[in-house]
Amino acid sequence: MKPSPRTFHVKSFGCQMNVYDGDRMTELLEAEGLKAAADAETADLVVLNTCHIREKAAEKVYSDIGRLVKRETGRAPMIAVAGCVAQAEGAEIPRRAPAVDIVVGPQAYHNLPALVREAAAGRTALDTDMPALSKFGALPARRRQAPGAFLTVQEGCDKFCTYCVVPYTRGAELSRPFTAIVDEAKALVDAGAREITLLGQNVNAWREDGRGLDELIRALDAIPGLARIRYTTSHPNDMTEGLIRAHAEVEKLMPYLHLPVQSGSDRVLRAMNRSHSADSYLRILERVRAARPDIAISGDFIVGFPGETEAEFEETLRIVEAVNYAQAFSFKYSARPGTPAAGMADQVPLAVMDERLQRLQALLNAQQLAFNQASVGRRTQVLIERVGRKPGQMLGKSPWLQSVHLETDAAIGDLVEVELLAAGPNSLAGAALVREAA
Ligand code: SAM
Ligand code: SF4
C-alpha cells in the first residue's frame, strides 16, 4: 500500500487540450494541499496525462511507468494514468501494469482527489465516466498564469474521421457555456494571462443558442488587459463567414489559422470521411486570406492512409505547394484499434510511409523557412514569454506564432515593439525598438 501523497508531478503528453487538463489537475491537487514536486523522480504522486492519437504516443505511457517503478529513490510513487489512453484502455492498464494505482479519463479528472484517497486505502481506483461537462463546474478557480494561457471551450468530436480515436476517447461534441468561458477568460487575465488560446478538438464548432466562435471571440476582445486571442484546432467545415470576418475586424485576434486538410487527394479525403475536398479547402483559404492578407496558415497531414497511392500522395504535395504553409504538423498514418481505417485493406508499408513523410516534411520545412525569411524587416509586437539562454536575452512570440529572441530589459508578459532582423527555420532574431519620447 502506498501512503497518502504530499507531493505530486503531472506529466502531459500530446495536444494542447492535454496541457490545459494538466494545468487544471495541478490546480486541483494544490487546492487539496499537495505541493508540486520538482520532477517525477521525487514526487509521491505522478500523474501521466496520456495521448492515444498514434500508437507511439500511446505506448510511451508504459515505458514511463517502467521507469517510475525503478526510480533511483528505490520507492515507486503512487501512479495515476489520466488522459486518452486511460479512457481507451481503462481497467486493462492496471492488468498490464500492476504498479498503476489510478486510472482517470479526460472527462472525470475532477474526481482525482477522491481517487487518490481510494488508492491510499489500497484499492486500484478507476473512473472513466463521461458526464456532460460536469468537471468544469467542479474545478477550482484559475490562478498563476503565464502570459500565454489555454482555455478549453469545446470538447469531443462528432466528425468520425475514419482514422481517429478522438470521438471515442473524448466523447461527443460539447460546447461549454458562453458565460463560463468569458468568466474563466477574465480570471485568467486577472491571474496574469495576456494571450488566450481557445481550445477544442473542433474549436470552430463551438455553438450556443445560434452564436458561434466569432461571437465568443468578440466577447473576449472586450476584456481589458487581454492583448491577444488565438484558437485551435479548426475543421474546414466549421469555418463560418462570421469567423472569417472576425479575422478582418477583431484586432486582438492574431493572424494565424491552424486548419488541417490531412490529404490533397479527394479519394483519400472521402475514405477518411473528411467531408471536404481539396478544392473546397483551398476556396476557404482564399476567403480567409481576402479577409486577412498577412495570415499565417498552418495544417496537419497524414501520409500513408490505407490505399494511398504514389499519385495520391503527390496530390498532397500539390496542395501544400498551392497553400504555402507557415507551419505544419505531418504524421505517418497509425492504425488505431476500433477505428474503421484500422480494418481497411491495403495498409501502406512503413518504409513507403517513411519515404513519403520525408518528402512532405522537406517541402513543409522549406515553406516554413521561406515564411520566416519573408518576415525579416517587419516591425511588429512580440509578447515576452520567458528568459533566453544568453544574458539579457528574452524569448517571445510574434503575432504569426513565430518564436522571436531579442535583447531587452522588458519583463515576461510585456508586449515589445520589435524589428525582425534575421530568420532561421524555427525562430527569428529581433531588435527592440526604442520608443520616441512623447
Ligand atoms: N480535430 C482536428 C482536425 O480534424 O484536424 C485534429 C485533432 S487530432 C488530435 C490532431 C492530428 O492528429 C490530426 O489532424 C491528424 O493529422 C493526426 N492524427 C489523428 N489520428 C491519426 C492517426 N490515426 N494516425 C496519424 N495521425 C493521426
Ligand atoms: Fe479526429 Fe479531428 Fe476528425 Fe474529429 S475532426 S475525428 S478530432 S481528426
Closest by CA position to 278, among listed 245, 244, 316: 316
The arithmetic mean of pLDDT across residues 137-152, rounded, is 86
Q: Is the CB of 157 under 6 A from ligand 2?
A: yes
Residue 435 pLDDT class (50, 70, 90 cuts):
low
Output the CA 160–ligand 2 centroid distance in Å.
6
Q: Which of 232, 331, 357 to mutate to test the pocket of ligand 1 (most atoms within 8 A of CB)?
A: 331
Cβ-in-10-Å burial (0-12, 13-18, 19+) of 415 comes to: middle
Atom of ligand 1 nearest to the CA of 163: 23
Cβ-in-10-Å burial (0-12, 13-18, 19+) of 281 comes to: buried
Residue 89 Cα distances to 59, 119, 166, 205, 288, angstroms? 12, 19, 14, 28, 40
Are 305 and 348 a contacting pair, CB within 8 Å? yes
- pLDDT score, position 242: 98
- Ligand (nearest to CA of 170): 2
| Percent of the chain whose pLDDT exceeds 70 | 98
Atom of ligand 1 nearest to the CA of 233: 2
Are 97 and 124 a contacting pair, CB within 8 Å? no
3-state SS, residue 105: coil
Distance CA 330, CA 263 (A): 10
3-state SS, residue 69: helix
H or E element in which residue 26 lies: helix 16-31
Residue 412 Cα distances to 27, 55, 192, angstroms? 22, 37, 10
Instruction: Say if residue 436's pLDDT is above 70.
Output: no
Distance CA 41, CA 151 (A): 29
| Percent of the chain whose pLDDT exceeds 90 | 88
> Residue whose CA is closest, atom 1 of ligand 2?
164
Q: Which of 204, 235, 331 to mutate to test the pocket of ligand 2 (most atoms within 8 A of CB)?
A: 235
- pLDDT score, position 438: 45
398: cell is: 510574434
The C-alpha cell 501512503 sits at 3
Number of H helices and E strands in the chain, helices first, is 14, 21
Distance CA 86, CA 83 (A): 6
Instruction: Say if residue 132's pLDDT is above 70.
Output: no
List beta partners, residue 429: 405, 422
Q: Kindly give the residue spans of alpha helices, DSSP state H, lying in 240-383.
A: 241-249, 266-271, 278-291, 310-323, 350-375
254: cell is: 492574431
The arithmetic mean of pLDDT across residues 309-336, rounded, is 97
Q: Which of 54, 158, 160, 331 to mutate to test the pocket of ligand 2 (most atoms within 8 A of CB)?
A: 160
- Chain centroid, CA 111 distance in Å: 23
Q: Mind giving me the DSSP string for 360-393?
A: HHHHHHHHHHHHHHHHTT-EEEEEEEEE-SSTTE
Q: Dmax of the chain from CA atoms?
A: 69
Q: What is the pLDDT of residues 41-85, one digit of tens each?
A: 999 999 999 999 988 888 889 999 999 998 877 788 999 999 999
Instruction: Say if residue 437's pLDDT is above 90.
Output: no
> Residue whose CA is closest, atom 25 of ligand 1?
333
| Lowest-confidence pick of 124-128, 139-143, 387-391 | 139-143
- Ligand (nearest to CA of 259): 1
